[in-house]
Amino acid sequence: MITISKNLKLREILESDSESLFNLMKEIYPAAYSHFWKDGGEFYVKTQYAKENILRELSEENTSYYFVLFKGEIIGNFRIIWNKKLGELKDKKSVKLHRIYLHSKTQGNGIGKKLLNWLEEEAIKKKYELIWLDAMDEQPQAFEFYKKRGYQYYSHCFLDFELLYDEVRKMSQVYKEFSILSNQ
Ligand SMILES: CC(C)(COP(=O)(O)OP(=O)(O)OC[C@H]1O[C@@H](n2cnc3c(N)ncnc32)[C@H](O)[C@@H]1OP(=O)(O)O)[C@@H](O)C(=O)NCCC(=O)NCCS
């Protein structure tokens, strides 16, 4: 267990947690993204959080996958891929924030900010130079959140899932360099 603050902790996700993670994301994901999908996001959750995909992600090297606990209750997930390069910035020692999802009942209370700060501090300690992630442009809650935290545009693509509505396909890669982080 990792303690970020008195009420905020991270607990490693284990293979035996795959069903709990699926059930959690069946609740969290549609609340934030159902309007992006023609099927309300059902296909996405079923594939991303299928047992075999969870086990594959847990077995990947250089990754950390956590449940987010607030006051002892599981309220989200948080996945980090250490040593994951970003395109042309491949000379920088980089870490990717792969997933951060919080339950709607706990959003907007500064938990996301605390998690991101914690990751940035950990990355600095481990001598990383850059942190990056993918974010959907049409989800202001996430996109503006990263912009406010100083993340800048690197590149973008358009996701080709058939079930996604065309106007929400844009996904940007954003990053923050450690020289900026350590000056804060
Ligand atoms: C995105 C997410 C991780 C942010 O965590 P959070 O705990 O809700 O965010 P915080 O309370 O720490 O807010 C951080 C900042 O984002 C800003 N923000 C939040 N929602 C916003 C919105 N809709 N528009 C503009 N800014 C917004 C807040 O104003 C706050 O800024 P401040 O510190 O200047 O006040 C969380 O809301 C979430 O899990 N959302 C649903 C899933 C998702 O989209 N995940 C990201 C996938 S890339």
Order of strands, sheet of 152-158, starting from the edge strand that comes earlier in the sequence: 2-3, 8-12, 63-70, 73-81, 94-102, 130-136, 170-177, 152-158
pLDDT for res 23 = 97
CB-ligand 1 contact for 104 (6 Å cutoff): no
> Helix or strand or coil: residue 132?
strand
Q: How high is the mean pLDDT of the chain?
A: 95
In this prediction, residues 33-61 reach a mean pLDDT of 97
The CATH number that applies at residue 64 is: 3.40.630.30
CB-ligand 1 contact for 107 (6 Å cutoff): yes
pLDDT for res 178 = 86
Q: CA-CA distance, 112 to 182, in Å (whole number)?
A: 20
pLDDT tens digits along 127-154: 999 999 999 999 988 989 999 999 999 9
In this prediction, residues 163-174 reach a mean pLDDT of 96
**Dist. CA 91 → ligand 1 center (Å):** 30
CB-ligand 1 contact for 51 (6 Å cutoff): no
Supply the pTM of this predicted model.
0.93
166: domain range?
2-182
Domain count of the fold of the chain: 1
pLDDT tens digits along 101-122: 999 999 999 999 999 999 999 9
68, 8 contact by CB (below 8 A): yes
Please state whether beta strands 170-177 and 130-136 pair in parallel, antiparallel, or not at all (unpaired).
Answer: antiparallel
Nearest CA to ligand 1 atom 19: 141
Angle of CA points 14, 171, 48, to nearest 5°? 25
**Dist. CA 108 → ligand 1 center (Å):** 6
